[in-house]
Chain A
Amino acid sequence: MLNPDSVGRTFTGAELVTVTQSEIDAFADVIGEADRSVAPPTFSIRITLAQSQQLLSDPDVGLDWSRLVHGDQKFQILRPIVAGDQLRCSSTIENYKVAAGNEIVTVRSDLHSGDLLVVSTWSTLVVRA
């Protein structure tokens, strides 16, 4: 079970994540996008999924990633991601509830380039009972 004290806490990555052109190319290939000058709108999940998992794997948080199902997803894109971006991820557990024995957790992850917010994402994750 999630530690209720984790709700509202923000965990910020120590490392910058550098976006490469080959990562954008691979993502664009899958969806058949010919334009490689910017990343497709959902590309940021590649960064936030791994980063939030790492940031929220603190044993003190108590989130069981092995039984997670993705419930819903939202992106707010302030500017498109481009190759060469160096992004820092910070993840916050914004909301937590238990329904029918399932834990429902909303994780917000922000990607910043320097002081500038580039993308915010919200993932609702369900830990199945």
Chain B
Amino acid sequence: MIEVGEVLSAKVFWIDRQLLKAYANASGDQNPIHQDEAFAKSVGLPDVIAHGMLTMALVGKFVTDFAGGSASVKEFSGRFVKPVIVPAGEKVDLTVSATITEVNGNEVRLDISATSAGVKVLGMAKALITLVPVVKS
């Protein structure tokens, strides 16, 4: 039984330059700030940064894993408060957790926390999901 206030176990996703390239191809967002270090620095960024929408896609995976599948998400929102910085040759963490804020039958609302290197990267992140019942054997 899911209850309001329950905190879901954190999960860590690892992000590297290769994943940024894969996401650029999968999403069509080829903005060079996500792939080209010299370009990123030329526009005042500390280094290459992850697509905000890649962060949100991975947070979405956390949510759908909990809810029981990709079809379970009804609403999903977040604010890109700090960039996820991805230096060459490194894997940086995206650590995701969530708290149940509302339960209404099968409908559940979540407040989500997402950090990288200890810094909050997604603000006001929320999801509304419909739980897919798990058949227990």
Proximity string of chain A (34-68) to chain B, C-beta cutoff 8 Å, 1 when within and 0 when not: 01011111100110011000000000000000000
Interface SS, B side = helix
Out of B28, B61, B75, name the residue touching A50 (CB < 8 Å): B28
Q: Establish whether residues B77 and A74, one from each chain, have CB atoms under 8 Å apart when the complex forms.
A: yes
Q: Establish whether residues B23 and A30, one from each chain, have CB atoms under 8 Å apart when the complex forms.
A: yes
Q: How far is the CB of A71 from chain B (nearest CB, A)?
A: 6
Interface SS, A side = mixed
* Interface presence of A72 (CB below 8 A): yes
Interface residues on A, range: 20 to 34
A-B Cβ contacts below 8 A, count: 88
Q: How far is the CB of B106 from chain A (nearest CB, A)?
A: 15
Q: How far is the CB of B127 from chain A (nearest CB, A)?
A: 8
Number of contacting residues on B, CB 8 A?
30
Q: How far is B81's CA from A109's CA once the two chains are assembled, in angstroms?
A: 22
Interface residues of chain A, those whose CB is within 8 Å of chain B, are 23, 26-27, 29-33, 35, 37-42, 45-46, 49-50, 70-77, 80, 122
